[in-house]
Structure 1
Amino acid sequence: MTKDHIDKKRAQAAFNKASVSYEEAAVLQKHVLGEMFLRLKLLKINPEIILDLGCGPGNAGPDLKATYKPRDLIYLDFAYDMLKKAEQKNKHHFLKSFSNKTSQQFICADMEAIPLSEGSIDMIWSNLSLQWCNHLDQIFTQIGKILKHNGLFIFSTFGPSTLHELRASLASFSKHSHVNQFIDMHDIGDALVGCGFSDPVLDVDLYTLTYSTFKEIMYDLKHIGARNALEGRAKGMTGKGFLYQLEKSYETYRTDEKLPASYEVVYGHAWKVNKPLDESSVVRFYPKQ
């Protein structure tokens, strides 16, 4: 499964730059992290080795350590400055938790080329990072290889309704792609089964953040690193005239003196089971509440 290609170097540079401001702006990301832990509590698992895939500033680390006390916790991100933030945060937490014997590793790498051994991980956690991949099938295949038998993959990612207001506003006057493409929940489920995962379960939540001004929306997107990183993006079309047209178009969504920014978040988990797939493989979807 492929989508519009992301320029990884540009995305990497954006996240490195955003490492300083990410914590303040990442309100939704922190909420989704909490929702993932609520879903994780329903699953029976006692992982000794955990991989935080696309860890960002390492916000999941303290709770993963406190919940499971794993022997090894590995943080992987392609943005070096984000990874350094994760190291600073989790080393501080580690020093305060004398009873926690967890060994921590920090790896700067692209999740489309995970440098870990086959069958080495008990659980892979990924919070809102899969959308920065170009080939989801390739990612799922790699994840399946490095998971142990009965290993768990739990994740969240953005669905296609994400930032639909911004996408429509841009399309009203520009033919170029300016917003990253996101994959539908059903296609994600099919890809998991196709890559050998067992019992995938997926659900979706819709969130709307509200802002007083259009500039506040763009400020938050910039400061979490969510810049346009598509390879086919238009060059030289982000000047004052372009932004004026974009703001004017976006203003049509204003309601009760607020501008909305919508996000569709797909939550999912699946198991690595070393057995041939058959026609009984079923993906379970839960409807929106």
Structure 2
Amino acid sequence: MNAVAIDKRAVAASFSRAASTYDQVAELQRQVGSNLLARLPDDLQPHSLVDLGCGTGYFTRALNARFERPVLGLDIAEGMLCFARTKGPEHAAWIAADAEALPLRGDSQHLLFSSLALQWCPDLGRALSEARRVLLPGGCMAFNTLVEGTLGELRGAWEQVDGYVHVNRFMPLAQLQVVLAEAGFARWHCEVETHVLHYPQLSALTHELKALGAHNLNAGRPGGLTGRARLRALTAAYETYRQVAGLPATYQVAQIILYK
């Protein structure tokens, strides 16, 4: 993502609206976040930790259970934070915050955890600079993000219909690796997972994206409602991807660990 392509206010508003429906359809999000959590070193015992882009607080609770420590939940979407507060954990603190301008002291955190949040940052390099600033020496940041190739089937189908931007753009892996290499961390590791979900029909996918708050947030998207003729054309184009299991939707997820 870049500053031209994404509007933070639109991101915050979209995810705030999705707070009450997000957990009902977030199976993939729980899976890739659990995979990230499993990548943390077994001997890691952080005394101060943050769930950055905590959303409904699912992984805030998971971090609290694993480390038996209070967790600070940060998110740009006030609606998500309001929902998270109702779920706990009891000792969590919830703060509205921008990953590119963290309201945290330098050298104050042992662990920053962030699952499927930083792809919505206009400037990932700035977010990583902030993360490095607030981490203690020897501290760890674990995050995952979507990269180019995600929802490629939906993008390809729309390209057969019109020239508008209908699908969120994600950073190419090569560009992500450059950003990671230039972020100033002592060492880092990046591994990409491919997840393919299947849907009985296109509407099941589009309804899920809306319920997640992750539908099209890019500049260049069409205004107003999509006409019936374009929807019929999109459905026909997407049907060319159909497999035995259903209509595929591919997600490319980079799982990253960095050490200060």
Shorter-chain TM-score tier: over 0.9
Matched letter for residue 11 of structure 2: A
Partner residue, 1:47: 46
Cα distance in 2 between the residues matched to 1:271 and 1:192: 11
Matched letter for residue 157 of structure 2: S
Could you tell me how far 1:232 is from its partner in structure 2? 2.5
Could you tell me how far 1:43 is from its partner in structure 2? 4.8
Partner residue, 1:27: 27
Cα distance in 2 between the residues matched to 1:183 and 1:43: 30
Partner residue, 1:190: 178
Cα distance in 2 between the residues matched to 1:158 and 1:269: 15
> Which one of 199, 222, 227 corresponds to residue 187 of structure 2?
199
Cα distance in 2 between the residues matched to 1:14 and 1:62: 23
Partner residue, 2:67: 68
1:5 aligns with 2:5: yes
Q: Give a deviation string over 1:190-234, Cα, whole Å, max 9, x none.
A: 212212112111111111111111110111111000121112322
Does structure 2 conserve the Cα–Cα contact (< 8 Å) formed by 1:159 and 1:265?
A: yes
Does structure 2 conserve the Cα–Cα contact (< 8 Å) formed by 1:185 and 1:202?
A: no
Could you tell me how far 1:66 is from its partner in structure 2? 2.0
Could you tell me how far 1:243 is from its partner in structure 2? 2.0
Root mean square deviation, CA, Å: 1.7
SS at match of 1:36: helix
> Which one of 80, 89, 110 corresponds to residue 122 of structure 1?
110
Could you tell me how far 1:186 is from its partner in structure 2? 3.5
Partner residue, 1:215: 203
Does structure 1 conserve the Cα–Cα contact (< 8 Å) formed by 2:114 and 2:144?
A: yes
Cα distance in 1 between the residues matched to 2:145 and 2:64: 22
Cα distance in 2 between the residues matched to 1:207 and 1:152: 26
Partner residue, 2:75: 77
Does structure 1 conserve the Cα–Cα contact (< 8 Å) formed by 2:161 and 2:230?
A: no
Partner residue, 1:278: none
Does structure 2 conserve the Cα–Cα contact (< 8 Å) formed by 1:51 and 1:124?
A: yes
Cα distance in 2 between the residues matched to 1:192 and 1:111: 16
Cα distance in 2 between the residues matched to 1:187 and 1:218: 28
> Which one of 115, 120, 132 corresponds to residue 132 of structure 1?
120
Does structure 2 conserve the Cα–Cα contact (< 8 Å) formed by 1:154 and 1:268?
A: yes
Cα distance in 2 between the residues matched to 1:5 and 1:120: 32
Unaligned stretches of 5+ residues in structure 2? none
Could you tell me how far 1:75 is from its partner in structure 2? 0.4
SS at match of 1:6: coil
Could you tell me how far 1:44 is from its partner in structure 2? 3.1
Matched letter for residue 7 of structure 1: D
Structure 1 runs of 4+ aligned residues shifted over 3 Å read 1-4
1:113 aligns with 2:112: no
Q: Identity of aligned pairs, percent?
A: 33
Matched letter for residue 166 of structure 1: L
Instruction: Give the 3 Å change call, closer, same or farther, for CA 239–120 of structure 1 in structure 2.
Output: farther
TM-score by length of 2: 0.94
Matched letter for residue 81 of structure 1: G
Cα distance in 2 between the residues matched to 1:257 and 1:183: 28
